[in-house]
Chains A and B, each alone.
Chain A
Amino acid sequence: MNRIEHNRIDQRFAALKAQGRTALIPYITAGDPAPAHTVDFMHACVEAGADVIELGVPFSDPMADGPVIQKACERALVHGTRLQHVLEMVAEFRQRDSETPVVLMGYLNPIERMGYEVFTRQAQASGVDGVLVVDMPPEEAGDNAALFAEHGLQSIFLLAPTTSEARARAICEHGEGYLYYVSLKGVTGAATLDADAVGEQLNKLRRITELPLCVGFGIRDGATAAAIGRVADGVIVGSALVGRIAEHADDPASVPAALKSILGEMREALDREAVG
């Protein structure tokens, strides 16, 4: 079976490459500010030009996240959002959108607790395409990655500025879909990012992998998106969106317009680069 034909992530990146465009990948935390809104927010992201959606599974102890996403997790958890519900949200999203790839992003324990077999089956049935577990590097993924693959779930792995070349080779070998390059040493929401340094690192990585290289951490607006878009195959924007959702938490109906405004700006900036 040729997976490329069946996986939405591979299809999407192939299409973008053919068009010479850079992927725009928003991250939002499922259940923030309340579970009822998440699917609407996902559709709003797509309407604003998102190519892939990273849907955060809220966790009580988000060790790699800064205050913005920590608070989003807290808001989601207060409303009882659990992995089970996140899968239901993806299934609901799929009723109207059968094309946009959805990657679940989060920490290992909710999956561990649900059980790998159960999770994998339900994720596939819900229409999930990829899984990015922040605290599951390839050497700990082992059988789980194989199980995911059997069910058409791609394992997305992280690369960092501190990753050695030997590790990078191993990670690239195990990676599927795309690679998530963490642009800086720090937690999500950290401020500064150096596009030239990122570009240098990506060039090194391109020598060892064909996978699309997407960059996250520190992308906030059209300008930062464009700067990274020049060197990467995709830009991932998280805290900037989640921060916007937080500002509108009292009036969730106004969030889709806010998301469209910030993502729209990024989309335009990226496409301008692609044409220019």
Chain B
Amino acid sequence: MSRFHDLTQLPDARGHFGPYGGRFVSETLSFALEELENIYASLKNDPEFQAEFDNDLKHYVGRPSPLYHAERWSREIGGAQIWLKREDLNHTGAHKVNNTIGQALLAKKAGKPRVIAETGAGQHGVATATVAARLGLKCEIYMGAEDVERQKLNVYRMHLLGAKVVPVESGSRTLKDAMNEALRDWVTNVDDTFYIIGTVAGPHPYPMLVRDFSAVVGREARRQSLEQIGRLPDALVACVGGGSNAMGLFYPFVEDDDVAMYGVEAGGEGVATGRHAAPLTANAPRGVLHGNRTYLMSDEGGQVADTQSISAGLDYPGVGPEHALWKDVGRVRYVAADDNEVLAAFRELTLVEGIMPALESSHALAHAKKLAGEMSPEQHIVVNLSGRGDKDIHTVAKLDGIEF
């Protein structure tokens, strides 16, 4: 089936990935999206812009991030060799900064003095506040009130960075509601404001440009695999909320047919319970939200469903449209890890490797562990360790009965 689409040539001119994607927005925003599309088209292949981007990634973010062989953990599992792509070592502590660096450069070119963003775990908010501080841009971050509560540390970081954090009380008070509110802000302040979307979702051209900025992860991982393993890995594993860290790792490998790919969604209390955030794994119906068509968890009347996950960054009812297509054509297998498996992986990597992963990334680790156990020691898995776990200490401590 994948032969019907050349997966390297998407989206089409109107932002569609097969039946998914598009630009489903109210008319006021069409103009701003066309403008963004034009700016990006003019810069995408501009060597000067690329050089500026690469330079920032190297000297400000600290790229390339290492590809680390988790030897001890691999040995304990007794299967495939697990390699961790260390996005947790980036400045600000997650992969999110790769994209915000790119979009901040676009904001600068567009001459917009103000940036806004939505955030779930707060990592994208922190990354946005960081680049805004560096460029002297005014910055407002929308965050669901529930996430403000469970990601206090990041809220304070954003505050220190000079950003205003707006808690969103509507709806389910999580990531999707933060995105609604950011879109409302954008519609109101579209003349002077650049909206830095934090994942490969939203209306065209966002899924495309966030993918392109995130793909540095996969390009490095591919090169590092050849250098360190001596060949391409047998499998890639990444967690999927909106899907930017997964897309960033997978995209440069899309034509490597022998490299299997696994996207790990938030299983919450278990996909069978209905209380999860795993639209692809659960085969959610097709829907339209936040400007694109995708797999979307909703009730029979088309009302968007409340989601459930221990990790704020994956607590989202939809998923980037390119992932939706990659599921349909079978290029990536989408699976889920539930909250208990995730916590176990979080603790295990911390104890065995001395690396404390974000709860989001722990979804990928949980599945990598299962997968490695079914493979042989001569095989290799690259896992995107998308972020560090400091921000989640409150959540984990609370489960241990400890309050700070």
Contacts and interface: CB of A to CB of B under 8 A. Distances in A.
Overall SS of chain B's interface: mixed
A140 B171 contact: no
Interface string B22-33: 111111111110
Given A63-B290, A70-B170, A137-B23, A185 B28 contact: yes
A9 to B, nearest CB: 19
A112 interface: yes
Interface in B172-213: 176-177, 180, 183-184, 187-191
Contacts of A59: 302-303
A113 B290 contact: no
Interface stretch (B273-281, B293-301, B335-343, B358-366): B293-301
Given A61-B176, A70-B170, A163 B30 contact: yes
Query: Considering residues B177, B191, B302, which has the most beta carbons from chain A within 10 angstroms of its beta carbon?
Result: B302
A237 B287 CA distance: 29
A58 to B, nearest CB: 8
B205 to A, nearest CB: 14
Contact of B184 (A74, A112, A139, A187): A187
B302 A140 contact: no
Given A63-B180, A137-B23, A139-B14, A112 B302 contact: yes
B396 interface: no
B136 interface: no
Interface in B1-60: 14, 22-32, 34
A162 B23 contact: no
Interface string A142-172: 0000000000000001111111100100010
Interface stretch (A33-41, A103-111, A199-207): A103-111
B23 A185 contact: no
Contacts of B184: 63-66, 187
Contacts of A65: 184
A230 interface: no
Contact of B286 (A74, A112, A186, A190): A112
A137 B188 CA distance: 18
B32 A162 contact: yes
Nearest to A59: B303
Contacts of A111: 302
A136 interface: yes
B2 to A, nearest CB: 25
A82 interface: yes
Contacts of A110: 301-303
Query: Considering residues B23, B24, B183, B290, which has the most beta carbons from chain A within 10 angstroms of its beta carbon?
Result: B24
Nearest to B172: A60
Contacts of B27: 137, 157-160, 162-163, 171, 182
A77 B301 CA distance: 10
A240 interface: no
A113 B286 CA distance: 7
B315 to A, nearest CB: 15
Contacts of B190: 162, 185
Report the interface size class on chain A: 35 or more
B114 to A, nearest CB: 14
Interface string B98-109: 000000000000
B183 A63 contact: yes
B19 to A, nearest CB: 11
Interface in B124-158: none
Nearest to B32: A162
Query: Considering residues B14, B171, B180, B288, which has the most beta carbons from chain A within 10 angstroms of its beta carbon?
Result: B288
A164 B31 contact: yes
B371 to A, nearest CB: 34
Contact of A187 (B177, B187, B286, B296): B187
A208 to B, nearest CB: 15
A60 B14 contact: no
B25 A137 contact: yes
A45 interface: no
A114 B285 CA distance: 11
A88 interface: no
A84 interface: yes
Contacts of B24: 108, 135-137, 140
Query: Considering residues B28, B34, B300, which has the most beta carbons from chain A within 10 angstroms of its beta carbon?
Result: B28
B301 A113 contact: yes
Given A64-B187, A186-B187, A160 B28 contact: yes
A134 interface: yes
Interface string B294-327: 0010101111100000000000000000000000
Contacts of A236: none
Interface string A27-69: 0000000000000000000000000000000011111111000
Query: Considering residues B27, B293, B302, which has the most beta carbons from chain A within 10 angstroms of its beta carbon?
Result: B27
Contact of B180 (A61, A167, A186): A61
Query: Considering residues A113, A182, A190, which has the most beta carbons from chain B within 10 angstroms of its beta carbon?
Result: A113
B377 interface: no
Contacts of A182: 26-28
4 nearest CB pairs, A to B: A82-B301, A113-B302, A110-B302, A162-B31
23 contacts: A61-B176, A62-B180, A63-B290, A64-B26, A65-B184, A109-B288, A109-B289, A110-B302, A112-B293, A113-B301, A134-B26, A135-B25, A135-B288, A160-B31, A162-B29, A162-B31, A164-B31, A182-B27, A182-B28, A185-B190, A187-B184, A187-B188, A190-B188
Interface of B: 14, 22-32, 34, 170-171, 176-177, 180, 183-184, 187-191, 285-291, 293, 296, 298, 300-304
Given A74-B170, A114-B301, 8 more contacts: A59-B302, A61-B180, A61-B290, A64-B183, A108-B288, A113-B300, A162-B32, A182-B26
